[in-house]
């Protein structure tokens, strides 16, 4: 997606060996006009998949999932990372290991909000090692629902998540793929 790629090149900053900071437009300050264009693009990519719900994980997947959901005209469900008294006790759960944070956390979704007949589109802002997406896929499979696709804003192509998911036959589409970092700049496919 050209306007996203242009924005990553202009405003993205590389931190250390493998982190791309895009918090001026994607996951801290949010450019809503750009989000709308990304939402339309996700609809274009998945419009034939009969999506009934969008699934994401808190926190930074929620914004883009909600904007995309307006174009699909379906609800968004987000997996929660924290235990809370207002979450139903009957939940689907999965464990996610975060390489970035070097820790494992639990994600939960109330059993009320994913049903057998659902065709889910997973949306997230970043795909690195794929653990968050695999955790969400585990929850979809526990619910007996169908994974119809995975839409990612920025895939880091030099980490293994994209390869793992494509080899599993997942219908994965990324709006931008970062091939490498060179001299502190992101090189895009």
Does 100 help bind ligand G4P (rule: CB under 6 A)?
Answer: yes
Q: How far apart are CA 135 and CA 57, in angstroms?
A: 10
Element (H, E) at 28: none
Closest CB 93 distance from ligand G4P, rounded Å: 16
The residue among 3 and 19 lying less far from ligand G4P, judged by its C-beta, is 19
Q: How many residues bind ligand G4P (CB under 6 A)?
A: 22
The residue among 52 and 150 lying less far from ligand G4P, judged by its C-beta, is 150
Does 56 help bind ligand G4P (rule: CB under 6 A)?
Answer: no
The residue among 51 and 172 lying less far from ligand G4P, judged by its C-beta, is 172
Rounded to whole angstroms, what are the CA distances from 41 to 37, 68, 71, 97, 154?
A: 6, 9, 10, 29, 13
Q: Provide the 8-state DSSP code for 113.
A: G
Q: What three-state secondary structure class fits 38? A: helix
Does 87 help bind ligand G4P (rule: CB under 6 A)?
Answer: no
Interface with ligand G4P (CB under 6 A), residue from 42, 72, 78, 126: 126
Tell me how crowded residue 27 is: count the other CB atoms within 10 A of its CB: 18
Phi/psi for 89 (5° steps) reads -80, -20
**Could you list the residues that contact ligand G4P (CB under 6 A)?**
19-22, 27, 57, 59-60, 98-101, 125-132, 156, 161
């Amino acid at each position: 997606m050209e306007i996203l790629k242009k924005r990553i090149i202009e405003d993205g900053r590389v931190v250390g060996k493998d982190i791309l900071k895009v918090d001026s437009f994607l996951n801290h300050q949010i450019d809503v006009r750009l989000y709308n264009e990304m939402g339309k693009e996700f609809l274009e990519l998945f419009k034939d998949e009969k999506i009934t719900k969008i699934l994401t994980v808190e926190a930074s997947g929620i914004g883009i999932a909600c904007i995309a959901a307006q174009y699909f005209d379906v609800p968004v469900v987000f997996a929660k990372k924290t235990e809370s008294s207002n979450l139903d006790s009957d939940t689907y759960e999965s464990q996610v290991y975060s390489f970035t944070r070097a820790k494992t956390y639990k994600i939960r979704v109330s059993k009320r909000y994913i049903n057998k007949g659902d065709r889910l589109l997973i949306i997230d802002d970043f795909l690195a090692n794929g653990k968050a997406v695999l955790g969400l896929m585990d929850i979809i499979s526990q619910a007996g629902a169908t994974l119809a696709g995975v839409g990612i804003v920025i895939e880091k192509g030099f980490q293994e998540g994209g390869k793992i998911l494509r080899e599993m036959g997942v219908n994965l589409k990324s709006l931008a793929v970062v091939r490498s970092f060179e001299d502190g700049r992101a090189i895009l496919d």
